[in-house]
Chain A
Amino acid sequence: MTTTSPTTPELSPPSRQTYLDAGYTVRSWLLTKDHKRIAILYLISITLFFFVGGAAAVLFRLDLMTPEGDLVRSETYNKLFTVHGIVMIFFFLIPSIPAVMGNFILPMMIGAPDLAFPKLNLLSWYLFMTGGIFAVAAIVLGGVDTGWTFYTPYSSTYSNTNVMLTAVGAFIAGFSSILTGLNFIVTTHTMRCPGMYWSRLPLFVWSMYATAIVMVLGTPVLAMALLLVAVERGFRIGIFDPALGGDPILFQHLFWFYSHPAVYIMVLPAFGVMSELVPAFSRKRIFGYNFIAYSSLAIAVLGFLVWGHHMFVSGQSVYAGAVFSMLSFMIAVPSAIKVFNWTATLYKGHISYDTPMLFALGFIGLFTVGGLTGLFLATLAVNVHVHDTYFVVAHFHYIMVGGAVMAYMGGLHYWWPKMTGRMYAEGWARLSALIIFLGFNLTFFPQFILGYQGMPRRYHFYVPEFQVLNVMSSAGASILGIGYLIPLVYLLWSLRYGPVASANPWGATGLEWQTPSPPPTENFLETPVVTADPYDYPSETYAEPEPGASSPGPRADLAGV
């Protein structure tokens, strides 16, 4: 680790030697070992994937406006929803918050100059892109139509599409997830600056740590399951297809043993972002720090014990179903605790309505609805009716889009000035938060009703009585699409024309705000020393911070010891 020569303790004017100035060539980006640059690489690539997945969604939502699906053929429709699922889950949601904000912010939060394994970090991006290229190749070469769940024996024997290419893509991308998780665990254990005890870790770091555990333990199982599908498909060795002597339910067990925890890979980081946003914009210490930290770990552990709730009607034993149902109710508790804690944090705060906070408040509402409908699905008798209907689709979109994507957007706006050194257009940003919230609800709320009426998922043609709600949902999808395009415009605009951001534009605590925006390559000019608890906002009294002033509260002694 190199540090520059000691500078004056003032942070303004900030040092212009930022991580962005470390090199201007493409090569300096593609061969970088700087966690911040790698985060930017991830940001650019997952944004591309996000709009690929989104375009697929817009297309099939348009198609679903009529019961007869006049836009595309059934084969195309099936490929569209498969592309949407695979791209959005494996190439956007799973890497979104961990690979962008985790990579960029986590080392800064604990006062570290970089992650523990910078080269592995770069490798993880290359693996991710390799997997992505395989997936895109599968799409370009004719698509894949198994659904993102790859259920056997359809995927291993019957589908005549590019299952192998897609499976290889997801397989390779899985390794990038494992490396990221490994890096976060080791970094959190070994790279904390003096005074950064476990009890002082920002809650974002706690949630990243829990996520990393799930990534390291879960992803290999998916890799094995996909490998076995490839083996059965390629060599006709009977593993899942009963015609070859296999067992079709075995695949579902292997798949959900990873893919249920994967839901927590998507939403635990979102919890972490929320735990940063709510105190920062309430200017108040977070309520129940310990409960939030430990509930993250509880979710990581319990998350591995509920995979069977995807299989209540699959033919698994009814007694197994009962056990999984009970465990699913138990995992709802730590999630509920977090929502209550964020709400309690607002109490007696000093709440501002900046864009990240709007996304955070939207998250609380949407995640509450998503979580509560999860209880409907955990209830055995109700699950039998709504399983594999639009009720499930609505539920997990409330969690993944209403939860994970809202938090991702909130975090992106929150740390945007830190990443880029620029502020975005606040008015446009608030408008987009509002449009996304409204468009989202219009898209997915009708699907709950649709699902209870009995419209199955993945239906290209449907019976006429479902049309009204489908049209509402499609209308919402177009609004939602616009809501996501607006940030693309004003964030890109801000890179060139946005006002220059100060080191701490929000007046937030946390080490990442104790260093210039954008940070220098080594993050901190001097190794910070932590002397206070996290979220150490001054209680009782409050004064508006002057623009560009450093944050209140003696968080870190930047003048050195």
Chain B
Amino acid sequence: MDQDFRLWPRQASELAPRVDAIYIALLLMALVMTVLIFFFVIYFSIKYRRGSKADRRLSQGSYLPLELTWSIVPLIVGMVFFVWGAKTYFDQVIAPARAIDVYVVARQWMWKLQHSDGTREINALHVPAGYPVKLTMISEDVIHSFFVPDFRTKQDVLPGRYTTAWFEAKEPGEYHLFCAEYCGTDHSLMRGKVVVLEPADYQAWLQGGTPEPKSRGEALFRRYRCYTCHSGESKVRAPLLEGVFGRTVALADGGSAKVDEGYVRESILRPKAKVVAGYEPIMPSFEGQLSEEDIVDLIQYIQSLSAPAQTP
């Protein structure tokens, strides 16, 4: 992280140049408009100053063609920017399917990050260059916001609900991570860094970490005796968890739900909210017994029962 004075943030992600392109186009448009208005205001103010000899005949109180023109042209220009911005925005918020999963738990005033193999970090996120990284984020207290200026990415982190963001870092290096939503006294100290490594170095870093592959989630699964219902041998009928993650299941109330992070979390905390069709609503709530990090561990464990672990 160099500490030089810059006028422009680095373009460190796949999307940064695309966002900057819109920004530059907007700058040009704004420059043209500003120059035009400043020119006319100054020109008229001087030419038609009180007592000047300028010709003032035939001035009109309104001129419909002119007024329609300067109403419709800005509208069209605005719509062009709207469509351009919206298309890029959809790419900004919808993560590609092949992305590496990282879980983010935010609290006053720190970032807790967890990789797909269970490795945990605080206020630093190591990611490989050239791979899309999808963040699934939740807060333990107030609203925070995950903001990496050099990636042009930002997403609020809410309590009680998962939000997602993604980026694909281009170059190895260190980048600022800020909290962008005011969250109390040390809001401005809720900073971290994103460390982008070459894929090989990232693998080495993961090995050097404290990987406990899935073991924490599995341990919780045993400690809270989830297996008494959610397994093939159990007497009590509950949905099997193998292969369920990512699928869409029919619900008892006639609807359907996609089994994703949010659904699993809700099912642990509020089991009766969305009961799978064909099962009784007998599961107890684990609200207050599990921390957000415990829930992330459980989600990772349930994910591991459904898919081969993602490794870059």
A interface residues, Cβ below 8 angstroms from B: 74-75, 78, 145-147, 149, 151, 153-154, 157-159, 241-243, 247-249, 282-291, 312-315, 318, 321-322, 325-326, 329-330, 332-333, 336-337, 339-341, 343-344, 346-353, 361, 364-365, 368-369, 372-373, 375-376, 378-385, 387-389, 449, 452-454, 456-465, 468, 539-540, 542, 544
Contact = CB atoms under 8 A, between A and B. Distances in A.
Contact of A330 (B58, B62, B78, B191): B78
B6 A284 contact: no
A447 B193 CA distance: 23
A239 B2 CA distance: 44
A385 B152 contact: yes
Nearest to A154: B142
A248 B163 CA distance: 13
Contacts of A286: 61
Interface in B24-64: 26, 29-30, 33-34, 37-38, 40-41, 44-45, 48-51, 54-63
A344 B65 CA distance: 14
Given A158-B142, A332-B78, A457-B182, A463 B176 contact: yes
Contacts of A463: 3, 176, 191
Contacts of A243: 159-160
Contacts of B90: 318
A287 B61 contact: yes
A313 B155 contact: yes
Contacts of A344: 66
Contacts of A361: 41, 45
Interface string B67-94: 1001100110011011011101110111
A333 B71 contact: yes
A242 B152 CA distance: 29
B149 A540 contact: no
Contacts of A384: 19, 89, 92-93, 152-154
25 contacts: A241-B159, A242-B158, A286-B61, A287-B60, A315-B155, A326-B82, A332-B78, A336-B74, A340-B67, A343-B44, A346-B48, A347-B48, A352-B50, A353-B49, A368-B33, A368-B34, A380-B82, A380-B88, A380-B89, A381-B85, A385-B23, A452-B23, A453-B149, A454-B147, A460-B187
Interface in B163-195: 163, 176, 178-189, 191
Contact of A376 (B26, B71, B182, B191): B26
A336 B78 CA distance: 11
Chain B interface secondary structure, helix, strand, loop or mixed?
A: mixed
A376 B79 CA distance: 13
B197 to A, nearest CB: 22
Contacts of B155: 313, 315
Contacts of A325: 82, 85-86, 89
B14 to A, nearest CB: 13
Contact of A372 (B33, B40, B48, B59): B33
B7 interface: yes
Contact of A459 (B84, B92, B108, B187): B187
Interface of B: 2-9, 18-19, 22-23, 26, 29-30, 33-34, 37-38, 40-41, 44-45, 48-51, 54-63, 66-67, 70-71, 74-75, 78-79, 81-82, 84-86, 88-90, 92-94, 108, 141-143, 145, 147, 149-150, 152-156, 158-161, 163, 176, 178-189, 191
Contact of B37 (A288, A339, A458): A339
A523 to B, nearest CB: 28
A452 B160 contact: no
Contacts of B182: 78, 146-147, 149, 151, 154, 457-458
Nearest to A469: B5
A322 to B, nearest CB: 5
Given A78-B184, A381-B22, A388-B154, 7 more contacts: A74-B187, A153-B141, A158-B108, A321-B89, A325-B89, A368-B37, A456-B180
Nearest to A449: B7
A381 B89 contact: yes
B28 to A, nearest CB: 11
A241 B45 CA distance: 55
A376 B3 CA distance: 27
Contacts of A321: 89
B59 A456 contact: no
Contact of A352 (B6, B49, B79): B49
Contacts of B163: 315
B48 A454 contact: no
A361 B46 CA distance: 12
Nearest to B150: A454
B26 A313 contact: no
A403 to B, nearest CB: 14
Contact of A382 (B26, B57, B70): B26
A284 B61 CA distance: 9
Contacts of A376: 23, 26, 30
Contact of B44 (A289, A330, A347, A453): A347
Contacts of B178: 454, 456
